[in-house]
Structure 1
Amino acid sequence: MDGLDLALLPRLIISGSGLDPEPIARQAGIPVWVLHTDHARIAGDRYLRAWELVEHGAERDDIALLIAERYVVGALGLYDYLFITASTLWDGMAATGSYMTTISTNWRFEPAEETDREISFTVHLNTGEGRGADLAMQFGIAGAFSRARTATGRPVNPVRVALRQPAPRHHAAFHTFFQTGQVDFDAPADTVTMRKSDLELPLLGADSLLAKILRHQAENLPPLPVRNTWLDEFRRLLRDSLMTGPTIETVAAHLATSPRTLQRRLAAHGTTWREELDRVRRSEYHRMRPAGLNSLARRLGYSDARSLSRANRRWQTG
């Protein structure tokens, strides 16, 4: 199975580049609506393609390091919060390693060689190659140190960084970001070596109770997440809009499209706005039936209980 990445990843790098997100998303084969949700997953090769386009658009070969520097911890949702609520830097890294699938199924971050004072970690990109993979790896490692520096409030730097990718023309940006002279290229594996004393640093946002809740949430996520389709996301937004009064204009805006385009896309899926609204209301009606009729009507976006009663009679005879 090809790797999957949470939509938060391409959104973070595209927004961090300062470029117009929609053209990049389209060229990368990422539906624009994906940039407006936290939950959809995309094929890993599309995330790597987004990196290639971002570098081309920004015209900077150090763009991955720049985006890592701009990275605001929390932008990766549950994955980030599992880290920053841990007690120490080591515990935070262990949490993100254990629950990597909350953000991607395409990466692994594992301990490797160890001495009395240092420990090395190997970073694996399961599938993917080319320039997009090179940039994603740069960001993956650099982003981990941005997060560590923010979470500890300390200048956490690696002892050594080794990358399998070819050496760039200029190394200065790597030495400046990592604050080490030992950045090697054309290495046999992608690795980073850290001081054990740094791994013992406490995290500023440590919260044992919240960390326990977040770990429970991570453990109960589907182990092999499925890819969200456009129709799945449309139906979720439609369901969420019921109580506030579902309109095609509102849902279209959330999908970053026009009502007319939304109607065309629904037609391409063999359905219509009215059919989908009726389907979602019917599904929610059966799920919430113990509630009173007036309450149900409000929660399903009907003007009154009589409208809901008429719809219910139609569902029973349809």
Structure 2
Amino acid sequence: MARLVRDAALGAGVAHSELAHLPGLEPETLADPLLRVPTATLVRLWELVAHGSPAGAGVRTAETAAQGRLHVWDYLFTTGGTFADGCRDAARYLPTMTDPGAEMTVIEEDRRLTITYGIAPYSPAAVTVIDEFAMALMLRRARDARGPGVVPVHVALAHEAPKNHRHLIEAFGTRAIDFGARTNSVTFLDLDTEPPRPAGPNDELALILRRYADNVLENARPAAGWHGRFRSEVAQALGEELSLELVAQRMAMSPRTLQRRLSDLETTWRDEIESVRHERAGTLLRETDLPVQSIAGRLGYTDARALRRAFHRWTGQTPDAYRRTPTPHT
């Protein structure tokens, strides 16, 4: 979801520099399905989308969400034995692709199936665009699963009615749209009229996809905030010409801003360098067989003696003695 909304923000004219300081948008983070982008970053992206393209921004973002864009969630949604089965999988595995605070439910009553989608009370700009995007996305996936002619019989949106909602009538294909509802919902009629298909390879694929999704949910973890990213940048730059200016440039902020943020955390550039070197030295000594001279070079020291002095200051031990000391769990 973060990749999709980031691209929507860029498409709405938001500058790359305006996104660079948001934690969780680093390429390595977005490429890892186990890392959760901070909710605050996702909400800010939606605000930028709404600001850059206010009328119908949510619907237009949903139009860019081609099948597969939202990874395993898309396939689980659209390949169920019945449409209702796919909806239930989509509700269960919603946290694989978006903020775990969002909630999707599936209600079957008579011949109607209703999908609801609720979010926390974010800023009004973000809420409006998310509401419209979520319902437009549900309709798009219904059409992916059951054909382009699918039209909902009712749509409810939690935000207040805009001055003009013609774009929503056109997007949903119905005038049965209410605003100010308790939660967002879209209702379909008779999408499972065809007979159930026989069991086959698709059932095995669905099982594999569910196991993969379960693994994602079990092992997902938050992406590092800006301080974690800062320390990662420092660690990568230790063997280079490390400087405040270099790290600030890589984080798309001025040196003064970086110093101010460190001060807000009651730390300093010098203290952070010491801390990162200490952490990296311990890791390299425990997990590699590199000689102390090589480790010193990787940490930006001129020679092994400088590392030994620093390491003794941190731990009261020499690097060699530390390496020989059993770890607590052994």
Please give the TM-score of this superposition, normalised by the length of structure 1: 0.69
For the 8 Å contact 2:102–2:120, the answer to whether it is kept is: yes
Query: 2:272 corresponds to which residue?
Result: 276
Query: 1:83 corresponds to which residue?
Result: 73
Within the alignment, does 1:292 sit opposite 2:289 as a pair?
yes
For the 8 Å contact 2:277–2:299, the answer to whether it is kept is: no
Shift in Å at residue 147 of structure 1? 5.2
Deviations 1:47-66 (A, max 9, x none): 2x7645543443x4212212
Query: 1:68 corresponds to which residue?
Result: 62
Query: 2:102 corresponds to which residue?
Result: 107
Q: C-alpha separation between the residues in 1 aligned to 2:308 and 2:89?
A: 48
For the 8 Å contact 1:285–1:300, the answer to whether it is kept is: no
Q: Which amino acid aligns with 2:14?
A: L
Shift in Å at residue 260 of structure 1? 5.2
Q: C-alpha separation between the residues in 2 aligned to 1:266 and 1:82?
A: 39
Rg larger in 1 or in 2?
2
Q: Which amino acid aligns with 2:73?
A: F
Query: 1:141 corresponds to which residue?
Result: 135
Q: C-alpha separation between the residues in 2 aligned to 1:214 and 1:120?
A: 24
Change (3 A) 1:66 1:141: same
Q: Which amino acid aligns with 1:125?
A: I
Q: Which amino acid aligns with 1:292?
A: D
Q: Which amino acid aligns with 2:272?
A: E
Query: 1:307 corresponds to which residue?
Result: 303
Query: 1:21-170 alignment to 2 at 5 Å?
Result: 32-33=22-23, 35-36=25-26, 38=30, 39-43=36-40, 47=43, 51=46, 54-58=49-53, 60-71=54-65, 80-86=70-76, 87-88=79-80, 93-102=87-96, 103-116=98-111, 118-128=112-122, 130-146=124-140, 154-155=147-148, 157-160=150-153, 161-170=155-164
For the 8 Å contact 1:252–1:259, the answer to whether it is kept is: yes
Q: Indicate which of 221, 231, 234 corresponds to 1:235.
A: 231
RMSD after superposition:
4.3
Query: For 2:298, what is the secondary structure of its paired residue?
Result: coil
For the 8 Å contact 1:242–1:301, the answer to whether it is kept is: no
Q: C-alpha separation between the residues in 2 aligned to 1:52 and 1:290?
A: 44
Please give the TM-score of this superposition, normalised by the length of structure 2: 0.67
For the 8 Å contact 1:148–1:156, the answer to whether it is kept is: no
Query: For 2:105, what is the secondary structure of its paired residue?
Result: strand
Change (3 A) 1:167 1:263: closer
Q: C-alpha separation between the residues in 2 aligned to 1:134 and 1:198?
A: 34
Shift in Å at residue 258 of structure 1? 3.8
For the 8 Å contact 1:108–1:124, the answer to whether it is kept is: yes
Structure 1 alignment gaps of length 5 or more: 1-5
Q: C-alpha separation between the residues in 2 aligned to 1:247 and 1:122?
A: 51
Query: 2:214 corresponds to which residue?
Result: 215
Change (3 A) 1:276 1:101: same
For the 8 Å contact 1:83–1:92, the answer to whether it is kept is: no
Q: Which amino acid aligns with 2:62?
A: A
Q: Which amino acid aligns with 1:237?
A: E
Within the alignment, does 1:265 sit opposite 2:261 as a pair?
yes
For the 8 Å contact 1:281–1:300, the answer to whether it is kept is: no
Shift in Å at residue 232 of structure 1? 2.4
For the 8 Å contact 1:16–1:71, the answer to whether it is kept is: no
The runs of 4+ residues in structure 1 deviating greater than 6 Å are 198-203
Change (3 A) 1:263 1:292: same
